[in-house]
């Protein structure tokens, strides 16, 4: 069943995960999971380089994070979008700003740009938007996309 909105609001970020439909990719995913779970040394060797690269990127981003600045313009834009969408409370605004700041640090910029903000909105808001139970499609997500399209012009 569905979680109550008060509980959903406690989750900072939310991603939707769907199963892979392409049979070749689906098989590859299953093989990798089984290899990982079997603690296969070849699995660790195969992914060691990518693991190290990602680890280094994240360490560098963590070091840059304190120097990322949220400008008044960015803050105003976030507050406006969240208010336009009718999100209750302030956790959404705060989560978006923290997420955008982290994404900017990963990207290596000193203030979140449009891409960082759009990604932060998409990670922080869908589970906070009220859905119309009589519509087949996700009305909250459509409203978010419409506001983001207007915002990015």
Catalytic residue among 91, 122, 141, 143: 91
pLDDT (tens, 9 = 90+) of the chain, 153 residues, equals: 678 877 888 889 988 889 999 999 999 999 999 999 999 999 999 999 999 999 999 999 999 999 999 999 999 999 999 998 889 889 999 999 999 999 999 999 999 999 999 999 999 998 888 765 555 546 677 778 887 776 665
Non-local CB neighbours of 100 within 8 Å, separated by 6+ positions: 70, 74, 78, 112, 116, 117, 119, 120
CB atoms within 10 A of CB 14: 14
pLDDT at 153 (0 to 100): 56
Give the whole-angstrom CA distance, residue 60 versus residue 48: 18
Q: Which domains does the chain show, CATH number per domain?
A: 23-65 (no CATH), 68-151 (1.10.8.80)
Give the whole-angstrom CA distance, residue 13 versus residue 8: 10
pLDDT at 10 (0 to 100): 86
**Nearest to 98, CA basis, from 73, 80, 124, 64:** 124
pLDDT at 131 (0 to 100): 64
122 catalytic? Reply is no
Instruction: Evaluate if pTM is beyond 0.75.
Output: yes
């Amino acid at each position: 069943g569905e979680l109550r909105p008060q509980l959903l609001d406690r989750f900072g970020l939310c991603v939707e995960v769907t199963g892979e439909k392409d049979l070749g990719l689906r098989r590859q995913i299953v093989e990798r999971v089984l290899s990982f779970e079997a603690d296969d040394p070849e699995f660790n060797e195969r992914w060691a380089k990518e693991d190290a690269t990602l680890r280094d990127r994240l360490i560098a981003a963590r070091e840059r994070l304190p120097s990322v600045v949220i400008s008044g313009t960015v803050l105003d834009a976030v507050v406006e979008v969240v208010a336009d969408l009718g999100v209750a409370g302030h956790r959404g605004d705060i989560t978006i700003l923290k997420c955008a700041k982290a994404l900017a640090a990963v990207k290596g910029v000193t203030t979140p740009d449009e891409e960082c903000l759009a990604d932060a909105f998409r990670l922080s808001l869908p589970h906070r938007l009220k859905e119309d139970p009589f519509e087949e499609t996700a009305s909250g997500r459509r409203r978010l996309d419409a506001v983001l399209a207007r915002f990015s012009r």
